[in-house]
Amino acid sequence: MNHQEQLYNIFKQNGSDTELQWYQKMDALDLQEKKKGFVMAHRHIARVPLGEVSIHPHDSPYPVDLSKWTKDQLVRTLVLLSMDEGDQNDFVQVIEDLFQTADNREAQAIYAALPFFNYAPVWTQRATEAIRSNVGLIFDAMAFNNPYPARYFDDTAWNQLVLKTIFNDKSIWNILGLEDRRNQSLAVTISDFAHERWAAGRTLSAEVWFLTVPFPSTRYWQDTYQLLNSETSADRNAGYLLWKAHADSAPENFTETFQSLFDDFKTQTIEWGKLEGQDQS
Amino acid sequence: MCTSNHSHQNPSHFQEANEGQVQPDLDFDYKKEIEGWHFFDPHIHMTSRTTDDYQALADAGVVGIIEPAFWLGQPRTGLSTFRDYYNSLIGWERFRSSQFGIRHYCTMGLNSREANNEKLAEQVMEILPLYIYKEGVVGVGEIGFDDQTALEEKYYRAQLELAREANLPVQVHTPHRDKKQGTERSMAIALEHGIDPSMVIIDHNNEETVKSVLDQGFWAAFTIYPFTKMGNQRMVDIVKTYGAERIMVDSAADWGISDPLAVPKTAALMLSQGIPREQVRAVTFENAVNAFATSGQIEVDQLKSLMEVDQSAKFEGNTVLRGGQQPRIDKDSVIIE
């Protein structure tokens, strides 16, 4: 079953008769009318969340959670997929036209649909525009619940995505592929950014230290030391997890210094994603 | 009427004429007068206003606004700048507004001034249909006459047809010069195209145009704009004379010397001068909402429920930038944190 069929089945389960009829009528029209249909979907399809269902676009290891989509967004995605008539250049042009005149929710729908498109890598540059956007809706559509960046972004673009998420105080756990795409350069930047915030008397989510786990440098241990001495429990929890990940290669006397703290930690369940008590999205 | 404060003064030559009128107390605190009120400004050009204005609007109780597509003070040189302008009305500006808890709607159209550049106007007319069906687009506007040229008429008519097809209200800009005849002509042409006057909002009215507009069944909007359009004391008198039916007040605040708080200020002036509360509510909120709600693009119930506005509410299911409403800053503080 291709994506269009999969998504259409979900629409059938969620759509009313009138909604299904509108879509079928529109689906039979030519490309120009379908473009208008993409715009007009909000007038005919309810803007309500979909039920619990997820899909792996093009065998991505990361599923898109469709319960975070609305029904009119699903139908807009169907309209987009139906406009791919087999010619890559034509389809790219159609998508470009729609991007150029898109309002915020239309842009949201297109960005979220990119991983479902054929020739998906073509839109890598366009996808980074969403990450540059200051409109929350558009940024979120690309950065969160979307397997596209993990698959197609290079490290530079990927790291911008992660950093901007952190910079805007949004939860990194909304990013698909976060664990697999950790990299050395990002780890250094995270540390720099943390020090910048600390110097300004500001804070940042302790969860971000998860991104540094695979890279135990000298600096890693300095940051771990500082976190373990922090006044906030979330920071100390993060410090504990950093120590735990590389306890065997900890610097001399490091473990001994915090032994009593670690003994106390061992009696608790401390894990990434739950450092601050709850996921803050 | 003479008050005891003024009894030492000689009677003015005009005193008799003023008798019975309430003299506005210019020192009164208008914000107190409208505490707890909510307003809808159906004509304001926010792309040329700052975040301070958004904050002031929110503080004064404005919960919804309509931004008509207009020109930018100078003629555009190409289609791309038109497209980017339209995109800003449905994109960035809408987002900016949402950060202050204000619902932002717009009307889309080719303005009369730039209708005079025929080559560009043709290109704009080609992309316009893509925009008028968008979410939150509550009408075709602001369109109509400026110099009243043949080209202005051509594109006014073409856009009336667009509005008719899409079943959208029309927001009509009436000319500054030769206003009375220009207004009559705008209405006559709309009727000629078979548009129901209840779908047409005639804007920038004054004492000279209002009667005919109301008599013919159109909505009459009044722009409170210093020096060139209506003053709000005159507006109070209009409502005293004509009542509140099909009348609405807007600011048309833009890049000129104008006042984004014209609607709440006018409401305060009306209340202080004894206009009944339901009439004030009609001309500063309900009439405009009802006139443009025929577009199907205004969530009337939601807007009316904003009476109990929750400052932390999210718009458009939107995680607003930086995870919440724009934080407030203390304007009087020298310390910037």
Q: What is the secondary structure of B205-252 as a DSSP string?
A: --TTTHHHHHHTT-EEEEEB-TTTSB-HHHHHHHHHHH-STTEEEE--
The residue in chain B having the minimum alpha-carbon distance to the alpha carbon of residue A201 is B337
DSSP state of B67: E
Structural domains of chain B, with CATH: 30-307 (3.20.20.140)
Banded pLDDT at B22 (limits 50, 70, 90): low
pLDDT at site A278: 41
The pLDDT mean for chain A works out to 94
Q: Do A132 and A219 share a domain, yes or no?
A: no
Banded pLDDT at B179 (limits 50, 70, 90): very high
Q: Are B283 and B239 in contact (CB under 8 A)?
A: yes
pLDDT at site A279: 39
Chain B hits for A169, Cβ within 8 Å: 322-323
Q: Are A22 and A11 in contact (CB under 8 A)?
A: no
The verdict on residue A198 lying in a domain is yes
Distance (Å, whole) CA A20 – CA A26: 10
**Residue range B234-245: average pLDDT?**
96
Residue found by looking up tokens 């915090």 in the block: A258
Partner residue facing A101 (CB), from B130, B136, B317: B130
Q: Give the predicted TM-score (pTM) of the model.
A: 0.85
Q: Do A80 and A201 share a domain, yes or no?
A: no
The verdict on residue A162 lying in a domain is no
Q: Do A14 and A149 share a domain, yes or no?
A: yes
**Residue range A254-260: average pLDDT?**
94
pLDDT at site B327: 63
B324, pLDDT greater than 90: no
- Terminal-residue alpha carbon distance, chain B: 53
pLDDT at site B101: 87
pLDDT at site B226: 87
Q: How far does A128 lie from chain B, in Å, by closest CA? A: 17
A281, pLDDT greater than 60: no
Q: Are B242 and B223 in contact (CB under 8 A)?
A: no
Banded pLDDT at B23 (limits 50, 70, 90): low
Banded pLDDT at B229 (limits 50, 70, 90): confident
One-letter amino acid of B269? L
The verdict on residue A22 lying in a domain is yes
pLDDT at site A233: 92
**Residue range B69-97: average pLDDT?**
94
The verdict on residue A102 lying in a domain is yes
B30, pLDDT greater than 70: yes
Partner residue facing A103 (CB), from B83, B135, B318: B135
Domain count within chain A = 2
Last residue of a domain, one of A130, A153, A176: A153
pLDDT more than 90, % of chain A: 91
Q: Do A112 and A198 share a domain, yes or no?
A: no
Q: Do A215 and A118 share a domain, yes or no?
A: no
Is the minimum CB–CB distance between A35 and chain B shorter than 8 Å? yes
pLDDT tens digits for A33-86? 999 999 999 999 999 999 899 999 998 999 999 999 999 999 999 999 999 999
A31, pLDDT greater than 80: yes
Helices and strands in chain B: count of H runs, count of E runs: 14, 8
Q: Are B256 and B262 in contact (CB under 8 A)?
A: no
Cβ contact B323–A169 (<8 Å): yes
Q: How far does B84 lie from chain A, in Å, by closest CA? A: 8
pLDDT at site A155: 97
Banded pLDDT at B321 (limits 50, 70, 90): very low
pLDDT at site A232: 92
Chain A hits for B83, Cβ within 8 Å: 100-101
Q: Do A104 and A197 share a domain, yes or no?
A: no
Q: Do A127 and A43 share a domain, yes or no?
A: yes
A188, pLDDT greater than 90: yes
Last residue of a domain, one of A153, A174, A198: A153
The pLDDT mean for chain B works out to 87
Interface of B with A (CB under 8 A): 83, 86-87, 90-92, 94-95, 127, 129-131, 133-136, 296, 316-323
pLDDT at site A1: 75
Chain B hits for A42, Cβ within 8 Å: 134-135
Distance (Å, whole) CA B223 – CA B209: 13
Q: Do A139 and A22 share a domain, yes or no?
A: yes
Q: Are A84 and A54 in contact (CB under 8 A)?
A: no
pLDDT at site B13: 43
Is the minimum CB–CB distance between A61 and chain B shorter than 8 Å? no
Partner residue facing A101 (CB), from B127, B135, B322: B127
The residue among B86, B104, B135 with the most chain A CBs within 10 A of its CB, best to mutate, is: B135
Q: Which residues contact B337 (CB under 8 A, 6 or more apart)?
A: none
pLDDT at site B122: 98
- Across A27-41, A105-119, B245-259, B317-331, least confident range: B317-331
Is the minimum CB–CB distance between A195 and chain B shorter than 8 Å? no
Q: Do A211 and A135 share a domain, yes or no?
A: no
The verdict on residue A278 lying in a domain is no
B14, pLDDT greater than 50: no
Distance (Å, whole) CA A236 – CA B182: 73
The verdict on residue A177 lying in a domain is no
**Residue range A194-205: average pLDDT?**
92
Banded pLDDT at B305 (limits 50, 70, 90): low
pLDDT at site B274: 95
Q: Which residues contact A52 (CB under 8 A, 6 or more apart)?
A: A67
Q: Do A20 and A141 share a domain, yes or no?
A: yes
Q: How far does B91 lie from chain A, in Å, by closest CA? A: 5
Banded pLDDT at B15 (limits 50, 70, 90): very low
Distance (Å, whole) CA B102 – CA B304: 12
Identify the residue with better confidence: B140 or B300.
B140
**Residue range A82-99: average pLDDT?**
96
Q: Do A143 and A236 share a domain, yes or no?
A: no
Q: Do A250 and A122 share a domain, yes or no?
A: no
Chain A hits for B321, Cβ within 8 Å: 134-136, 168
Identify the residue with better confidence: B310 or A70.
A70
Give the domain range for residue A18: 3-153
Find the angle CA(B235)-CA(B236)-CA(B241) to the nearest 5 degrees.
95
Token pair belonging to B87: 């995109």
B2, pLDDT greater than 80: no
The residue in chain A having the minimum alpha-carbon distance to the alpha carbon of residue B166 is A40
Last residue of a domain, one of A98, A132, A153: A153
The verdict on residue A59 lying in a domain is yes
Q: Which residues contact B154 (CB under 8 A, 6 or more apart)?
A: B115
Distance (Å, whole) CA A147 – CA A129: 16
B315, pLDDT greater than 70: no
Q: Phi, psi at residue B49, to the nearest 5°?
A: -115, 160
Distance (Å, whole) CA A260 – CA A249: 19
The verdict on residue A179 lying in a domain is no
